Amino acid sequence: MNWAHWHLLLNHLPVIGTPFAIGLEAFAVWRKSDEMEKASAGCFVAVALLTIPAYLTGCPAKRLVRGLPGVSQSFVHQHENAALIAALAVWGLGSISLLALFFSRRSRPMPRWFAPASLMAGIVAAGLMAWTANLGGQIRHTEIRSGASAAASAPAAQRKASDE
């Protein structure tokens, strides 16, 4: 496995993990469960930690795809900038979650500020992760680039005509 493969494997963890932790936190608020809030805080911390290797494998992956057919350095650069913003958001969310877990140690309840802060920060972080993932997908998946539907339909029509 090379760095690009590792990057593709690891980047799914924060993209999927952030909405999962948001759902867990929303469920904790609905159920008024302090234990579930602590579990969601733990998930946010885990997602923040998993974001580190996903982010760090980006640069070596970029070097591997440079010069490949269909790879636009503009898309790589946009993805790289978005990844930094998204990673900072997730790391900030993980930090406030770790802080809340610290304040709630030894059977104390979670701080009252945690639920609204984590839900708002989580939604922002999940949106940034989704945006970053979409930009990353556009690096090699030309079919998801804007304006690609017209270009994609022409080869499909040509293939159908050649099959007949």
Label each residue of the chain as H, E or C. Answer: CCHHHHHHHHCHHHHHHHHHHHHHHHHHHHHCCHHHHHHHHHHHHHHHHHHHHHHHCHHHHHHHHCCCCCCCHHHHHHHHHHHHHHHHHHHHHHHHHHHHHHHCCCCCCCCCCHHHHHHHHHHHHHHHHHHHHHHHHHHHCHHHCCCHHHHHHHHHHHHHHHHC
Residues 6+ apart with CB under 8 A from 27: 33, 36
Hey, what are 31's tokens? Answer: 């159920």
pLDDT computed for residue 70 by the predictor: 78
Convert the pLDDT of each residue in 33-73 to its tens digit. Answer: 999 999 999 999 999 999 999 999 999 999 888 888 878 88
Give the integer Cα–Cα distance in Å for 6 and 27. Answer: 32
Residues of the chain with pLDDT under 50: 151, 153, 159, 161-162
pLDDT computed for residue 75 by the predictor: 87
pLDDT computed for residue 4 by the predictor: 85
pLDDT computed for residue 36 by the predictor: 94
Give the integer Cα–Cα distance in Å for 52 and 14. Answer: 10
